[in-house]
Chains A and B, each alone.
Chain A
Amino acid sequence: MIAARADWLLALPVLIPLLACALSAALRGRPLVQRAVTATAAAAMLVSGAALVAEVLGRGVIASQMGDWPAPFGITMVADLFAAAMVAITALIYAATAAYAPADAGMRAQEALWHPLLAALVLGVAGAFLAGDLFNLYVWFEVMLIASFGLLVLGGGREQLDAAVKYAVLNLMATTVFLIAVGLVYGLTGTLNLADMARRMPQVPNQGAAAAVAFLLLAAFGAKAAVFPLFFWLPASYHTAIAPVAAIFAGLLTKVGVYAMIRLVTLVFPAGQDWMAPLLWAVAAGTMVVGVLGAAAHWDIRRILSFHIISQIGYMIVGLAVATPFAIAGAVLYIIHHIMVKANLFLVAGAIRRAGGSFSLAALGGLWRRDPWLGILFAIAALSLAGLPPLSGFWAKFMVVKSGFDAGWYALAAVALGTGILTLYSMLKIWIEAFWKEPPEGAAVVALAGRERWLLLGPVAALALVTLGIGLWAEPFAAYALAAGEQLAGREAYIAAVLGARP
Chain B
Amino acid sequence: MPDSLILRASASYVLWAGLALSVFVLLRGHNEPGGGFIGGLIGALGFVFHALARGPAETRRVLRLDPLAWGGSGLLLATASGLPALLLHAEPLLTHQWIDGLPIGTAIPFDIGVYLVVLGFALAFVLPFLGEESA
A positions within 8 Å CB-CB of B: 1-4, 7-8, 11, 15, 18-19, 21-29, 66-69, 112-113, 116
B108 sits at the interface (CB 8 A): no
B87 sits at the interface (CB 8 A): yes
Given A28-B66, A69-B94: A2 and B89 interface contact (C-beta under 8 Å)? yes
Interface residues of B in 80-135 (CB under 8 A from A): 82, 85-94, 120
Q: Which residues of A contact B71 (CB under 8 A)?
A: 25-26
Chain B at the A interface: mostly helix, strand, loop or mixed?
helix
Docked-complex contact A8 and B92, CB < 8 angstroms: no
Docked-complex contact B72 and A68, CB < 8 angstroms: no
B positions within 8 Å CB-CB of A: 66, 68-69, 71-76, 79, 82, 85-94, 120
Given A18-B79, A22-B79: A1 and B90 interface contact (C-beta under 8 Å)? yes
Given A8-B86, A18-B79, A28-B66: A67 and B92 interface contact (C-beta under 8 Å)? yes
Can you list 13 pairs linking A and B with CB atoms under 8 Å apart?
A: A1-B89, A3-B87, A11-B86, A19-B76, A19-B79, A23-B72, A25-B75, A25-B120, A26-B75, A28-B72, A29-B66, A68-B90, A113-B68
Q: Which residues of B contact A21 (CB under 8 A)?
A: 72, 75
Docked-complex contact B89 and A25, CB < 8 angstroms: no
Complex CA–CA separation, A11 to B86 (angstroms): 8
Complex CA–CA separation, A195 to B31 (angstroms): 32
Among B68, B74, B88, contact of A116 (Cβ-Cβ < 8 Å): B68
Complex CA–CA separation, A23 to B72 (angstroms): 6
Complex CA–CA separation, A106 to B28 (angstroms): 46
Docked-complex contact B90 and A22, CB < 8 angstroms: no
**How many whole Å from A104's CB to the nearest CB in chain B?**
22
Complex CA–CA separation, A296 to B128 (angstroms): 42
Residue on B nearest A112 in the bound complex, by CB: B68
Q: Which residues of A contact B91 (CB under 8 A)?
A: 68
Complex CA–CA separation, A66 to B71 (angstroms): 24
Docked-complex contact B94 and A67, CB < 8 angstroms: yes
Among B73, B90, B93, B94, contact of A26 (Cβ-Cβ < 8 Å): B73
Q: Which residues of A contact B82 (CB under 8 A)?
A: 67
Docked-complex contact B87 and A2, CB < 8 angstroms: yes
Q: Which residues of A contact B85 (CB under 8 A)?
A: 66-68
Q: Which residues of A contact B86 (CB under 8 A)?
A: 3, 7-8, 11, 66-67
Q: Which residues of A contact B88 (CB under 8 A)?
A: 1-3
Q: Which residues of A contact B72 (CB under 8 A)?
A: 21-28, 116
Q: Which residues of A contact B69 (CB under 8 A)?
A: 25-29
Given A27-B69, A67-B94, A116-B68: A18 and B75 interface contact (C-beta under 8 Å)? yes
Q: Which residues of A contact B87 (CB under 8 A)?
A: 2-3
Among A23, A26, A68, A112, contact of B89 (Cβ-Cβ < 8 Å): A68
**How many whole Å from A269's CB to the nearest CB in chain B?**
32
Docked-complex contact A3 and B89, CB < 8 angstroms: yes
Q: Which residues of A contact B66 (CB under 8 A)?
A: 28-29
Residue on A nearest B95 in the bound complex, by CB: A67
Complex CA–CA separation, A21 to B68 (angstroms): 11
Q: Which residues of B contact A15 (CB under 8 A)?
A: 79
Residue on A nearest B121 in the bound complex, by CB: A25
Q: Which residues of A contact B93 (CB under 8 A)?
A: 67-68
**How many whole Å from A499's CB to the nearest CB in chain B?**
18
Q: Which residues of B contact A22 (CB under 8 A)?
A: 72-76, 79
Q: Which residues of A contact B120 (CB under 8 A)?
A: 25
Residue on A nearest B77 in the bound complex, by CB: A22
Complex CA–CA separation, A11 to B79 (angstroms): 12
Q: Which residues of B contact A24 (CB under 8 A)?
A: 72
Complex CA–CA separation, A24 to B75 (angstroms): 11
**How many whole Å from B38's CB to the nearest CB in chain A?**
18
Complex CA–CA separation, A48 to B134 (angstroms): 47
Closest 7 CB pairs of A and B: A25-B72, A26-B72, A22-B75, A67-B85, A1-B89, A67-B94, A22-B76
Q: Which residues of B contact A7 (CB under 8 A)?
A: 86, 89
Complex CA–CA separation, A23 to B73 (angstroms): 7
Chain A CB within 10 Å, residue with most, of B86, B87, B90, B91: B86
Complex CA–CA separation, A18 to B72 (angstroms): 10
Complex CA–CA separation, A24 to B120 (angstroms): 14
**How many whole Å from A131's CB to the nearest CB in chain B?**
16
Q: Which residues of B contact A27 (CB under 8 A)?
A: 69, 72
Chain B CB within 10 Å, residue with most, of A7, A8, A19, A67: A67
Complex CA–CA separation, A116 to B70 (angstroms): 13
Q: Which residues of A contact B75 (CB under 8 A)?
A: 18, 21-22, 25-26
